[in-house]
Amino acid sequence: MAKTREQKEKIIEEIVNIFSSNKGIVFFDYRGLSNAELFELRKNLRDEKAGLKVAKATLLKIALKRKQLELEADFKRPLALAFTQEDEIAPFRKVSEFLKIKEKGEILAGFIENSFIDKEEALRLALLPGRLQLQSRLLAGMFSPLNHFLFLLKESQSQLLRLLKSYEEKLSN
């Protein structure tokens, strides 16, 4: 059943809001995915505080014109947008993992920090670890020398105590 003009206007406004309020957006072809699989993907994205919106390419183009953005790629098929306000890389990673498991669909492009990225760049971003993982690696790297230093200090004290204990035993004999 065809959508009314009001329904289309509402979808366009939703897309404009997605581009206004989100840091990372991935465009992907969802053809071949069932409704149940899209629901599963939506649930996976929700775990990362991300969302999913399915839209026709023409409505996406109208929304981008209203936002005064130009899309380099020319999409002629229905698209899905995965988006987030927090971790820019999360939707790229989650969508890529999901499509790889299902062996359906493909990532087409992305949008990060008010600029479009092509398919290759979007796929490279999908391989990056998440923000939390990167932060934990950074902290581990920062604390590693300190932990090593504290271990050396502790080990030096225990060696000194062992030396004193052996000296005490030697004196008592």
Both structure tokens of 1: 């059943």
Give the per-residue pLDDT at 92.
93
- Output the pLDDT for position 153: 72
- pTM (predicted TM-score): 0.72
Mean pLDDT computed over 51-80 = 85
Pairing of strands 24-29, 79-84: antiparallel
Taking each helix axis from N to C terminus, what angle separates 57-66 and 5-21, rounded to the nearest 10 degrees?
Answer: 60
User: How high is the mean pLDDT of the chain?
Assistant: 87
Q: Which fold has domain 5-128?
A: Alpha-Beta Plaits (3.30.70)
- Alpha-carbon span 135 to 133, nearest angstrom: 5
